């Protein structure tokens, strides 16, 4: 089994890539944003925004891995503490951990994607470009093995990602 962590700033193409890769493997995709937005919709508040969503997704990932499914985590994973959650889960269950860091190598395209997503949002959790730039300042560089995928440059990124995860 593989626990694949798709990480990167909002709007770089993580979710789109995760869904396409999941269809090929197959794998369950567990997006932290969906959990976070649903908690907000139901007015579940927490002292550390986003923290519970990561914990819930980790618990759901554990269930899926225990029954033999590959799992793709779709989350920004901006700091070491968030990333450590997946390391510990993979170690505890004895599954392979693979990190796919997704970037958009063209700032104008990244901004266009973020603004298009923001304009069509169906809830208040979608960040605007200013918020994405704030998140970029908080984003700690990834250290260690990973596959970096530039969704602006990559013509067909799915096959190399599937190979990396297999």
Q: Which residues contact 45 (CB under 8 A, 6 or more apart)?
A: none
Q: What pLDDT is stored for residue 3 in this prediction? A: 98
Q: Note the pLDDT tens digit of each residue in 86-124.
A: 999 999 999 999 999 999 999 999 999 999 988 876 656
d(CA 63, CA 118): 32
Q: What pLDDT is stored for residue 124 in this prediction? A: 64
pTM for the model stands at 0.94
Q: Note the pLDDT tens digit of each residue in 63-83.
A: 999 999 999 999 999 999 899
Does the N-terminal peptide bond of residue 26 adopt cis geometry, omega within 30 degrees of 0?
yes
Superfamily holding 2-165: P-loop containing nucleotide triphosphate hydrolases (3.40.50.300)
pLDDT band (50, 70, 90) for residue 54:
very high
Residue ranges covered by each domain of the chain: 2-165
């Amino acid at each position: 089994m593989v626990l694949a962590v798709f990480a990167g700033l909002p709007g770089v193409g993580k979710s789109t890539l995760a869904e396409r890769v999941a269809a090929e493997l197959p794998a369950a995709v567990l997006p932290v944003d969906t959990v976070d937005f649903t908690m907000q919709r139901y007015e579940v508040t927490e002292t550390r925004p986003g923290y519970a969503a990561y914990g819930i997704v980790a618990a759901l990932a554990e269930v899926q891995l225990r029954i033999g499914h590959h799992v793709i985590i779709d989350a920004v994973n901006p700091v070491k503490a968030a990333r450590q959650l997946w390391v510990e889960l993979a170690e505890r269950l004895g599954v392979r951990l693979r990190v796919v860091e997704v970037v958009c190598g063209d700032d104008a395209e990244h901004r266009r994607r973020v603004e298009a997503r923001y304009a069509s949002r169906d809830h208040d959790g979608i960040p605007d470009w200013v918020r994405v730039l704030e998140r970029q300042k908080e984003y700690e560089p990834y250290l260690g093995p990973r596959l970096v995928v530039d969704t602006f440059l990559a013509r067909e990124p799915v096959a190399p990602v599937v190979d990396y995860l297999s």
